[in-house]
Amino acid sequence: MKLSCSHQSKRCKTETASMQISMPSNAVLLDLEEWLLVKDMGASWTQSCKKEFKVHKFHFHISKPELLLQPRWDIPPLLWLVYRSVMLVYTFSWFIYTALFFNTPKFLIFLSHISYCLMIIYYLVSVCNLAWAFLEIRCSPHRVKRGVSSECESLLSLSVPLKAALSLQWFLHSMMGCLSLSVSFLYWTVIHPSAQHSLTAFNINIHAINSIQTTVDLLLSATPVHLTHLYNAVLAGALYVIFAVVYWLMGGTNRFGQPYIYKILDFSGRPLVATLCILGVCLLCLPSCHFVLWNLQLLREWMVSRKKMRRIALKREVCWWVKVSGGATFDLVPSLDPTASVFETSGRTATVEDQRSQSLTLV
């Protein structure tokens, strides 16, 4: 008996030592669980990247509409609506200030101001959609089907026009996010050093706070980001280039009377530099910024779907909509299904592949 215990003790020590050796040197200070989480995150990133480029991820029709309405964290519905409304008022106030400051319609020829207008429209649509969904659910004649069945049946439903408006919101989010990061990067690396603009509150808000707003909104919300939606931002960049060329051909000038919008887009004085800048923005800057947003979404989903938080986050998602509907918080919790939408009333439209990758490849 003693010999067997001694043998088992030596065997456990040997396995523990081999486990410690197999762990990477930079993870020695982490416990085994945290190291495995980091390892799983790397594997999930690779799998998510492989599964991004599929036909059904090119469109803006989402199978789980609640992802475009609810926050990803434990934020009450009313507070979430207040947050969206405050962001709308904040951006619209700065837009009015910008219009009064320039005192000319020419302020709309700049990409930074156009992207800020898109941000205003996005917040406006998101606030309207959220209030619209709240009213539809609260005024629904049957909010939640109560019962003790093994499978949770949700009678929450959204109208077809609201679903179309949610697709528009997702489209605007994809375009606004990528353009905001691109504007900030281009301004502080190209425009500001050459023009030597003063660091006013206006410049900081339009060219720095805009990216902070985009990042915070992405991390707080549950809005998915797909790599295949890159064409959306590239198309917007191409349309702006066409506008800049047409504006130049028609003899348009900036507010200082110079024959270009930006100095780097001086087609008459430096056509080669303008062409290279256009190619760099459309082929490098915009894709890179969209890739950053996609990785921020993966980071958000990884933090939410950690082993200890997965069940809690799932309960929080369902309870959030039960609170909106005015039902009791225990109606939907006993039979949670992480792959189904709370708005599905008959059957499940998600595919098996989407069920396996629901955490990091939301559709």
Q: Looking at residue 290, what is its pLDDT?
A: 94
pLDDT at 227 over 70: yes
Task: Supply the pLDDT for residue 214.
Answer: 96
Query: What integer pLDDT is reported at residue 337 of this predicted model?
Result: 56
Percent of the chain with pLDDT over 90: 45
For residue 347, name the pLDDT band (cuts at 50, 70, 90): very low
Q: 110-119, 147-156, 249-258, 319-328: which range is least confident on average?
A: 147-156
Where does 53-138 have alpha helices with state H? 77-102, 111-138
Q: Say what the pTM is.
A: 0.77
What is the model's pLDDT at position 139? Answer: 80
Burial 167-190 (b: 16+ CB within 10 A, else e): bebbbbbbbbbbbbbbbbbbbeeb
pLDDT at 137: 85
pLDDT of residue 2: 45
- Alpha carbons 174 and 62: distance in angstroms, whole number: 14
First to last CA, the chain: 58
Measured distance CA(49)–CA(51) in Å, rounded: 6
Q: Which residue has the tokens 């709308």?
A: 88
Cβ–Cβ < 8 Å for 363, 64: yes
* pLDDT band at residue 358 under the 50/70/90 scheme: very low
φ/ψ region of 249 (left if φ > 0, alpha if ψ in -120 to 50, else beta) reads alpha
State which amino acid sits at residue 27. Answer: A
Helices (H), 187-309: 192-195, 201-204, 210-220, 230-249, 271-280, 286-304
Q: Which is higher by pLDDT, 348 or 118?
A: 118
Half-sphere exposure of residue 165: CA atoms within 13 angstroms, side-chain side: 20
Q: What is the pLDDT of residues 186-202, one digit of tens each?
A: 999 988 887 777 788 98
Mean pLDDT of 260-288: 92
pLDDT of residue 50: 76
pLDDT (average), residues 171-180: 94
326, 299, 304: which is closest to 316 by C-alpha? 304
